[in-house]
Structure 1
Amino acid sequence: MSTKPAAPVSVPDAITELPHPWESRDLAFANGSVLRVVRFEGAFPWHQRDQDELYLCWDGSFRVEFEGGDSVVLRAGDIFVVPKGVRHRPVADEPAYGLMIERPEPKQYGSA
């Protein structure tokens, strides 16, 4: 049984469809995971997940803050993985865009 490949998805085009802070769009599904594009702006609420959370900064810059005061800054092209169970929050002082690979279940407010 063969499946026809999906059409290519333009990340820049998907970004233009995200006018609000923390809005996301699912771009592709593979191997039980989803690739999402997210608009980062301001501070997202503190949270932790029961899975690793992969961030790839596509455009701009944002940081991932951890309880206890540590943080990691990501700039365009940087990848960072928050291990499961670690309490954190992404923060962007100006609009930034990132890609995230995760299981499809975690939908955040703003998800389309």
Structure 2
Amino acid sequence: MKKVNIQEKLNQFQDHWNPRIVGELNGQQVKLAKLKGEFIWHTHDEEDELFWVISGMLTIEFRDSSVTLNPGEFIIVPKGIEHKPIAANEVQVMLFEPAATKHTGNEKHELTNNNQEHL
């Protein structure tokens, strides 16, 4: 057992939309990511996904609405719900999702990374 310092992990990378795995529990992965700009519309057919904002402001677009998250807030996107994260300025997030979750669901895109690095 060892503790994880979130800020130290976030300081190890600068790129956006490329989550890093910082822990695993019960088949779930805990990831940190920096986001900036718009991601793509995508769906995770079998997995729920949690976005927890550490810093910045993140908007999650849905086909019929949107939700804006501030630091200290999170949202769970249920499986099968199409969504698109948007970060006007850099946002730091923690993600919780099953290890089998594909980064961009069934969508293939230049941002897709299904071989994420462990920090």
TM-score by length of structure 2 reads 0.83
Query: Which residue of structure 2 lines up, in the alignment, with residue 32 of structure 1?
Result: 27
Query: Which residue of structure 2 lines up, in the alignment, with residue 43 of structure 1?
Result: 38
Aligned 1:60-99 pairs, distance under 5 A: 60-68=56-64, 70-99=65-94
| Percent identity (aligned) | 26
* Separation of aligned partners in 1, 2:102 and 2:77: 17
Query: Which residue of structure 1 lines up, in the alignment, with residue 9 of structure 2?
Result: 14
Structure possessing the higher radius of gyration over alpha carbons: 1
- Please identify which structure carries the higher strand content: 1
Q: How many angstroms does 1:107 deviate by? A: 4.5
User: Does the Cα contact within 8 Å between 2:47 and 2:101 map onto a contact in 1?
Assistant: no
* Separation of aligned partners in 1, 2:77 and 2:62: 10
Unaligned runs of 5+ in 1: none
* SS of alignment partner, residue 85 of structure 2: strand
Unaligned runs of 5+ in 2: 104-111
User: Does the Cα contact within 8 Å between 1:18 and 1:24 map onto a contact in 2?
Assistant: no
User: Does the Cα contact within 8 Å between 2:60 and 2:66 map onto a contact in 1?
Assistant: yes
Residue type at the aligned position of 1:24: P
Residue type at the aligned position of 1:57: V
TM-score by length of structure 1 reads 0.88
Residue type at the aligned position of 2:93: G
Render the CA deviation track for 1:15-57: whole Å, top value 9, x for unaligned. Answer: 1122111121111111111100111111111001121111110
